[in-house]
Amino acid sequence: MTGRLWILAATATAIALSGCGGGSGGSGATQAPPTSTSAPPAPPPPTASRFPPAPFGLTVSQHFAPLGWLYPAGSAEPQLIQSDQVPIRWSAEAGKYELSLPNVGSGFLEYRFPGENPYAFKLVSPSGTPLDVAVILDDGRFYDPAFGSVGLFEWITTGPGPSGWAAFGLQSTPADLPGHGVVRYLTFGSSVAGQGATNSIQFVFDFDNGTLSGDIGVAWADDWGPHEVTRYDFAQTDFARGRTTFMATFAVPGAPTEGFLTGRFMGTGARELAVAWRGPVRNPYSGEWIIASGVVLGRVCSDCD
């Protein structure tokens, strides 16, 4: 927001009147300056920005690597987003988020309801034309300020383009990783497709030996819950010293397929995680299995034992 200072300068003019009298010398009178009783005009109300501010305290342009799921138009099966499919960045020059979506186009994120809904955005082309997509953005300031390096965004297209959701943020470098020790992380929140599922995932990274273990908790979720959460240990993992990404699978007894997840460390010090997961969840009413897909954020957990 910007404020404007309005200054009203009042000036007064003194008028001296003088006259001449016959042989008796001159005489004159001074008129008092006029006074004003009117108040200065009120400044105009500030104009709220139509665009969200820089995320994560950025002062320079920054490309983000999204991690999540993309639903092609007309398909019920999501695809894991490839890094070049949904480019998203912060442009310091423009002071705006820039987002490009397949079969939709590129544009800037603009508030849909300024001052009323800080999550809801529309995508506007550089020429100012609204595109056929609505975006929900959570860059950590709204969802949980503790996530200082990673956020979530979701988009829904009304045209032929795909829909999807992903985590994005400041990916850690190898130098950000702990040099040694065992560090636990726990995920919080979930963005889920399917009939609904809740989950929390615990990761145990041994940075001395370059190993990963952990488990995932999955449960059906609906308006009649909560339903029992079942935890499944990781079956196979893929992680090594110096790696900023990781993968794991988990087996669900009786399910037609196993689950898997992929993730990356986020932020300075690698204190946060972005994780995309997909796996079977059992419908407690029909007994049928559905395949749910989710995107979650995690952070270092000091009391996970």
Q: Given this chain, do its domains 55-169 and 174-300 carry the same CATH topology?
A: no
CATH (one of 2.30.130.10, 3.90.550.10, 3.40.50.1820, 2.40.160.90) for 174-300: 2.40.160.90
CATH (one of 3.40.50, 1.10.10, 3.30.40, 2.40.128) for 55-169: 2.40.128
Residue 303: closest CA among 177, 178, 180, 202: 202
Residue 123: closest CA among 115, 113, 114, 112: 112
Q: How far apart are CA 194 and CA 128, in angstroms?
A: 35
Residue 292: closest CA among 69, 67, 66: 69
Reported as a single tens digit per residue, the pLDDT across 238-274 is 999 999 999 999 999 999 999 999 999 999 999 999 9
Q: How far apart are CA 50 and CA 215, in angstroms?
A: 42
Tokens 């959570």 label which residue? 138
User: Tens place of pLDDT for every residue, the chain, 305 residues?
Assistant: 333 222 223 333 333 334 444 444 444 555 655 555 666 777 766 566 788 899 999 999 999 989 999 988 777 788 999 878 899 999 999 999 999 998 899 999 999 876 667 678 999 999 999 999 999 998 877 777 778 999 999 998 887 778 898 999 999 999 999 989 999 999 976 556 555 677 789 999 999 999 999 999 988 888 887 888 899 999 999 999 999 999 999 999 999 999 999 999 999 999 999 999 999 999 999 999 999 888 999 999 877 65
pLDDT at 103: 87
Query: Which pTM value belongs to this model?
Result: 0.81
**Domain layout of the chain by residue ranges:** 55-169, 174-300
Q: How far apart are CA 228 and CA 294, in angstroms?
A: 18
pLDDT at 289: 93
Token pair recorded at residue 94: 């423009």
